[in-house]
Amino acid sequence: MPAMTRAGVIQRLERAWAQASKAAGTPLAKPLIYSDQRHSSFASKALVFIAFSNLALAGLAYLTGTSPAIYVGLLLVTFMAIAFSFSKSRGEGVVAEEQRAMHQNALQMEELADRMWEMRESEQRFYGLLEGLGDLVVHRDRDGRILYANKVLGELLGMEVDQAYGKTLSHLGIEIPIVPEAAFADGESISSTDVAVRTGRGLRWFAWTELSMRDTESGEASHWAIARDITARKLAETALVNARERAEQASHAKSRFLATVSHEIRTPMNGIMGMATLLADTTLTHEQRTYVGAISTSSGALLALIEDLLDYSKIEAGKLELEAQKMDVREMVESIVELMATRAFAKSIGLGCHISPLVPEYVNADPGRLRQVLLNLLGNAIKFTETGGVLLTVIPSQKDGKPALSFRVEDTGPGIEQNALERIFKDFEQAESGSTRRHGGAGLGLAITRRLVEAMKGRIIAESAPGEGATFTVTLPLDGEADEEAKNTARSLAGYHVGILASHEMEAEALSRSVRAHGGRSTIIDPTAASKSAQGEDLDALIVDASLEKEDGSCLRKLRENGWKAKRNITLIAPSERGRLASFRANGYGAFLARPARTRTMLRMLLSEIPNRPSEVPSPKAGRKAARGAHTGLHVLVAEDNEINALLARSALTRAGHRVEVVTNGRAALDVLTKQSRPYDIVLMDLHMPVLDGLDAIAGVRRFEEEAGMAPIPILVLSADGQEKTRQGVLAHGASGFVTKPLDPDKLLLTLETHMAA
């Protein structure tokens, strides 16, 4: 049977049904055939029912003898219904499968549409965020063509942003010094730089970040750039750099100004101080001597202030240099104490020094800077102490687990409020606002001291309370060579008992500590109890302050009567009391110890079997006389361009019995010193002179002497610059020695004598 469509089958069934109804003479019930897909299952069942019904009717027609055409027609309809039902069942299965597939596809398409809608919405939010970000955002392909840019690019370039699509940044006038293509081999890369973009509003700066990345699905590489406008920051940075440069220039100018002015002020001050010293050596009335003393004191204070200002300017300009070298700690500390003794004794206060025997003999340090630190601390302590005294103690310690030395300065001054302890280390600050008027000074001493200590990698601590004095402790990481002699003498006074009677508690304490540190026993005798009846003790040595002794020796006699009997009697004498040496000897004192006492000198005196003679503590005048006696009548050439300094040198040397000639520049000095018949024994050469400076003049003299085969003449350099670097520099140029300005007549003559003796 040829294949028929569903509609064709229905039409044939309807025609067969009509013929059967006509032959029967009675209309038959029309079969229900549904074309609606919704009733397809019901139609299939109806066709089966109709087929069996028609089959029954055909049988009935045959049995009743009805016309053959009728039952044949009924049979034909029955077979056609069965065939159509079978075909329909198979078609419905296919249709149902297709319907299920179509329904699944519809669901997938709906899900895909939902996802696409969500992605589109997310993309819109993303680009909306980029538009509102405020930073420039550009997306480019690997060739640099713009795929997307937010509105900031259009505003920056003064154009519609759509006009930039497809173009490169270079085409738009933006050069990016980042080459991210090399990162494509690894997939992603981030790099940043600052980019300048010229716009209609002028030059704009952007912090440009470039991100190079690959699409994970397509593998295509592209660039994302995010740039933030940092023009304001750049302008601020430029302004800051310019301000810093101007500040540095101003600081350098100020430093040069201070250095120049300090030098210009220091030069005449040196002359004033030198002349005051010479004047004090002449015959003066009491009133005149008072005036000269005031001149010396005032000029010394002004010179100290100038030195502070110069040091401060160096520190502020970052030009502070340290020159570490091997130095003798004991010699330096004791010489500083001796130098400050005059100021302490002038105020009738005590000044003592104790150095532990465990302190190394030599350490590596900058002697000039360490000296300055100790001078500042001692100077402050003496300035603010009206009664009592000042004590400097040096002991070994540790800093950060490494060997160090501690220098402790104690005083009995008014003390410092707790809230002022930190402020006093600041520039131009003192403990109280009124102290500048009462005590003088610019408030720079401690500020400079702290910066010097910190430059030497040390620390400084202040401890004080009102009415209890103050203690300043400086700890420096100074390691050095052990003093074997000091170690050997650490128990050298074992078994010794030393009595100490001093008018100042600090000095008595310093002597007592030194005795105990070397294994001895010490007893400090109360000055008020010395004249009272008391049971004293037998002593190996008795040290008595000369200021407590009478001309008739009654103090020593009273001590003996009270039981303080000693094998050796030693007087502790100040420089101003040297004229009493004869009476002290006559009253039973066999040895003399100069104030402030040096530990080594005291040890030698206590351990010596022969009493020390007074000559062991010579006065400055005695030293000057000794110098005169040894080498008198020397012919000295002074090369000095400053008239006052030249006059000072001439006066000091002439008084010592020498002949002096003066030249005012280095060229004149070189001319007279490069002659075969030069008449001079020694030369004083200023370091800085017009026409030819001192170093060049010295170099010329040494070349002449070498070529002529002449013995080198001693040349002493005169300079206010006492830095070790300067000293070494002049010695390297052929100088024989160095004399620091301001010129001190006694030191000048002593230096002259030393070099002539050599």
Out of 187-201, 242-256, 295-309, 395-409, which region has the weakest mean confidence (pLDDT)? Answer: 187-201
Q: What is the pLDDT of residue 323?
A: 77
CB atoms within 10 A of CB 561: 13
Q: Is residue 682 scored above 60 in pLDDT?
A: yes
- CATH number of the domain that residue 356 is part of: 3.30.565.10
Q: Which residue has the tokens 């001149």?
A: 295
DSSP-derived secondary structure for 6-35: HHHHHHHHHHHHHHHHHHHTSPPPPP----
483-517 pLDDT, tens per residue?
555 555 567 788 889 999 988 888 999 999 999 98
Between strands 682-686 and 715-719, the pairing is parallel
Q: Do residue 292 and residue 353 come from a single domain?
A: no
Q: Do residue 344 and residue 456 come from a single domain?
A: yes
Q: What is the pLDDT of residue 132?
A: 65
Q: How far is the C-alpha of 653 from the C-alpha of 748, rounded, in Å? A: 9
Long-range contacts from 735-741, C-beta under 8 angstroms, 24+ separation: 735/685, 735/698, 736/712, 739/684, 741/266, 741/270, 741/645
Mean pLDDT confidence for 99-123: 71
Q: What share of the chain is helix, strand, coil (3-state, %, to 5)?
A: 50, 20, 30
Among 617, 635, 663, residue at a domain's last position? 617
CA distances from residue 144 to 149, 165, 172 in whole angstroms, order as listed: 12, 11, 12
703 and 612 Cβ atoms separated by less than 8 Å: no
Between strands 402-411 and 389-399, the pairing is antiparallel
Between strands 325-328 and 350-355, the pairing is unpaired
Q: Do residue 558 and residue 639 come from a single domain?
A: no
The structure tokens listed for 748 are 């000048």
Residue 610 located in a structural domain: yes
The fraction of the chain above a pLDDT of 70, given in percent, is: 72
Which region, left, alpha or beta, applies to residue 208 given φ > 0 means left and ψ of -120 to 50 means alpha? beta
Confidence of residue 673 (pLDDT cuts 50, 70, 90): very high
The structure tokens listed for 687 are 């370091």
Q: Is residue 618 scored above 50 in pLDDT?
A: no
**Which domain covers residue 749, as residue numbers?**
622-757
Of 254 and 692, which is predicted with more confidence?
692
Q: Is residue 399 scored above 70 in pLDDT?
A: yes
The pTM of the full predicted model, rounded to 2 decimals, is 0.55
Residue 1 located in a structural domain: no
Q: Is residue 707 scored above 60 in pLDDT?
A: yes
Out of 76-80, 557-561, 696-700, which region has the weakest mean confidence (pLDDT)? Answer: 76-80
Mean pLDDT confidence for 696-715: 92
Q: How far is the C-alpha of 240 from the C-alpha of 233, rounded, in Å? A: 10
333-378 pLDDT, tens per residue?
988 888 888 888 888 899 999 999 888 888 888 888 888 899 889 9
Q: What is the pLDDT of residue 343?
A: 85
Mean pLDDT confidence for 215-235: 82
Q: Is residue 40 scored above 80 in pLDDT?
A: no
Q: Is residue 121 scored above 50 in pLDDT?
A: yes
Long-range contacts from 401-406, C-beta under 8 angstroms, 24+ separation: 402/477, 402/479, 403/477, 403/478, 403/479, 404/458, 404/475, 404/476, 404/477, 404/478, 404/479, 405/329, 405/359, 405/360, 405/363, 405/475, 405/476, 405/478, 406/473, 406/474, 406/475
Q: What is the pLDDT of residue 513?
A: 92
Confidence of residue 686 (pLDDT cuts 50, 70, 90): very high
Name the nearest CA neighbour of 321 among 249, 251, 369: 369
Residue 96 located in a structural domain: yes
Instruction: Provide the mean pLDDT of the chain.
Output: 77
- CATH number of the domain that residue 161 is part of: 3.30.450.20
Q: What is the pLDDT of residue 290?
A: 84
Mean pLDDT confidence for 315-340: 81
Give the SS3 label for residue 471.
Answer: strand
Residues in the chain: 758
Q: Do residue 356 and residue 424 come from a single domain?
A: yes
Q: What is the pLDDT of residue 439?
A: 47
Q: What is the pLDDT of residue 243?
A: 92
Q: How far is the C-alpha of 695 from the C-alpha of 715, rounded, in Å? A: 11
The fraction of the chain above a pLDDT of 90, given in percent, is: 16
Q: Do residue 568 and residue 612 come from a single domain?
A: yes
Q: What is the pLDDT of residue 130?
A: 66
List the 659-663 sheet strands across, edge first.
659-663, 635-639, 682-686, 715-719, 737-740
Q: Do residue 242 and residue 280 come from a single domain?
A: yes
Q: Which residues contact 596 (CB under 8 A, 6 or more apart)?
A: 334, 337, 338, 341, 351, 352, 353, 507, 510
Q: Do residue 218 and residue 255 come from a single domain?
A: no
Q: How far is the C-alpha of 353 from the C-alpha of 599, rounded, in Å? A: 8
Among 434, 462, 484, residue at a domain's last position? 484
Q: What is the pLDDT of residue 279?
A: 86
Q: Do residue 13 and residue 160 come from a single domain?
A: no
Q: What is the pLDDT of residue 262?
A: 67
Q: What is the pLDDT of residue 33?
A: 43
Q: What is the pLDDT of residue 625?
A: 42
Q: What is the pLDDT of residue 147?
A: 87
- Show the DSSP H helices in 317-346 as ranges: 329-346
Residue 73 located in a structural domain: yes
Q: Is residue 613 scored above 50 in pLDDT?
A: no
Q: What is the pLDDT of residue 468?
A: 87
Of 278 and 570, which is predicted with more confidence?
570
Q: Which residues pair with 406 in a beta bridge?
A: 395, 475
Among 229, 247, 265, residue at a domain's last position? 229
Long-range contacts from 228-236, C-beta under 8 angstroms, 24+ separation: 228/135, 228/136, 229/135, 229/136, 229/204, 229/205, 230/194, 230/205, 230/206, 231/203, 231/204, 231/205, 233/205, 234/194, 234/205
Give the SS3 label for residue 305.
Answer: helix
Residue 126 located in a structural domain: no
Give the SS3 label for residue 464.
Answer: strand
268 and 302 Cβ atoms separated by less than 8 Å: no
Mean pLDDT confidence for 1-16: 48
Pick the most confident of 92-101, 289-298, 462-471, 479-488. Answer: 462-471
- Distance between alpha carbon 272 and the CA centroid of its chain, in Å? 41
Q: Do residue 277 and residue 160 come from a single domain?
A: no
Computed from CA positions of residues 424, 429, 432, 438, in that sequence, does the dihedral angle turn out positive or negative?
positive
Confidence of residue 224 (pLDDT cuts 50, 70, 90): confident
Task: Please state the domain count of the chain.
Answer: 6
Q: How far is the C-alpha of 652 from the C-alpha of 745, rounded, in Å? A: 6
Q: Do residue 446 and residue 326 come from a single domain?
A: yes
Name the nearest CA neighbour of 594 among 620, 621, 575: 575
CA distances from residue 272 to 266, 303, 337, 741, 746 in whole angstroms, order as listed: 10, 11, 25, 12, 16
Q: Is residue 440 scored above 50 in pLDDT?
A: no
Q: Do residue 240 and residue 98 come from a single domain?
A: no
Residue 312 located in a structural domain: no
Confidence of residue 475 (pLDDT cuts 50, 70, 90): very high
Give the SS3 label for residue 461.
Answer: strand
Q: Is residue 39 scored above 50 in pLDDT?
A: no
Confidence of residue 407 (pLDDT cuts 50, 70, 90): very high
Q: How far is the C-alpha of 721 from the C-alpha of 665, rounded, in Å? A: 19
Confidence of residue 724 (pLDDT cuts 50, 70, 90): low
Residue 123 located in a structural domain: no
**How many helices (H) and strands (E) are present in the chain, helices listed first?**
22, 23
Q: Do residue 153 and residue 172 come from a single domain?
A: yes
Out of 185-194, 283-292, 663-672, which region has the weakest mean confidence (pLDDT)? Answer: 185-194
Out of 59-63, 163-167, 274-278, 616-620, which region has the weakest mean confidence (pLDDT)? Answer: 616-620
List the 591-594 sheet strands across, edge first.
521-524, 497-501, 539-545, 566-573, 591-594
Out of 99-103, 422-426, 612-616, which region has the weakest mean confidence (pLDDT)? Answer: 612-616
Q: What is the pLDDT of residue 511?
A: 92
Q: How far is the C-alpha of 353 from the C-alpha of 362, rounded, in Å? A: 18
Residue 179 located in a structural domain: yes
